[in-house]
Each structure stands twice: as C-alpha cells, then as structure tokens.
Structure 1
Amino acid sequence: MAAVSGQQDGCQTLQTEVDLVKQMSVEHQGSTIIVDCVATVTMNKCEGTCMSQVSPSVVHFPGLMKQCRCCQEGNLLPKLIRFEECFFDNSLVSGLRPSLEIQEPMGCSCQDCRN
C-alpha cells in the first residue's frame, strides 16, 4: 500500500469571529434565573483540503483501497469565554458576566480521517 505523503495540502489553522449565544442558569440577587448570554470571540478553526484517494484493489475488501485524509486539529486547548451581556425576559441583566470554558483547535494539519 502506497503511503500518502505528509504534505499538508491546503490545510491550515485560521482565526474566525464567532457569535456565541448560551442559555444558562445563574444566581442573581438571591434567585436562580435562566438567562440568554451573548459573546463575540475570535477562535481558531481548521480549514482546507487534504489529498485522499480510492483505488481498485484485489487485496482490500470490497475491492477498493481507501486512503482518506482530513483537515483536523492536532490538539485542543481550553479557552475561557467571558460573556459580554446576559438577558432575562429580553431585559439586560446588569453586572452579570458569566464565563464558560470551551475547546479551541490548534495545530491543524492533514491527518487520517476519524469520526
């Protein structure tokens, strides 16, 4: 089986601006309320193309050899998001700035495809 070369084709780590909206339960003035919080953050994403191929094979079932490569992150790093505004019943809740940790892709490259 011929190996797909290690070239990265067009896969790269790019920054993008993302608008996040999250509904969460918070304590505010002695009560638990459900608020809708918003934030605009700049985050990494993986984007691009990678060399893949399918070719006939008498060795591989069902008669095809598949070499699938996908543009994927090398690892994920935690990123703390601080929400800019939160709303309760369509009214701004002043002084409320909850945070949430999410995973940010880093080191994007062409890798064997996985689910």
Structure 2
Amino acid sequence: MNEFDNGGRLIKKCEEDLAVNKCEGACVSKVQPSVNTPSGFLKDCKCCRETHLRSRKVTLTHCYDADGNRISDEKGGVLSFKLREPAECRCFKCGDSTR
C-alpha cells in the first residue's frame, strides 16, 4: 500500500504478509433432466459466498521511502488502515446477487 502527499508524491510504500479470510468450499450442486426447461436439464448450482463483510484494522510494518530505503518504526515506518474481508460463508444459488 502506498501513501502519497497532497501533491501526489510518494511518501512511503508499505507491505506485509497477511492472512485474509476468504470464502471457499464445496456446495452441493445438481443437474437433472427436465421437460419444463428449454435445455432439457434443470440446473441447481450452489456457490460458497460471504453473508457480509467485516472490517478489521491492519498495520503494515515493512515501509520504504520513495528511494527504496527502509523506514524505521520510530520515523513513521508503519501504516494502518481498515480492511474489509468476508465473514460467515454459506452456500447460495450461483449468480444470485440478492442472497
């Protein structure tokens, strides 16, 4: 993540290895013959997605100035921000944005 001054000049670039929640998993999907659908098959596709996003404060501690020199913590070598990540994963109908 980069931090810029009001003039758009790079103040510092910070990075960190973070564990971030994500939704993944197996949801049972089905395909069955159907005389009521044009394709001849009734598809019931389920996808794993979050029920909502939660906010988490993250602090990056590996920061560098515009020249690539490491900035110490005492000289502002950290950058904090809020990250929104998935929470409470569930199976939903694929393509359904209303959940």
* Number of aligned residues: 90
CA deviation map 1:9-68 (0-9, x unaligned)? xxxxxxxxxxxxx3x2334xxx93253311233332223201001222111232221101
Residue 104 of structure 1 pairs with residue 88 of structure 2? no
How large is the RMSD of aligned CA atoms in angstroms?
2.2
Residue 60 (structure 1) aligns with = 37
Does the residue aligned with 1:111 lie in a helix, a strand or coil? Answer: strand
* Aligned equivalents of 1:35, 1:60: Cα separation in 2: 57
* Aligned equivalents of 1:96, 1:26: Cα separation in 2: 14
Higher strand share: 1
* Aligned equivalents of 1:107, 1:71: Cα separation in 2: 10
* Aligned equivalents of 2:26, 2:11: Cα separation in 1: 41
List gaps (5 residues or longer) in structure 1: 1-21
List gaps (5 residues or longer) in structure 2: none
User: TM-score when scaled to structure 1?
Assistant: 0.64
User: TM-score when scaled to structure 2?
Assistant: 0.72
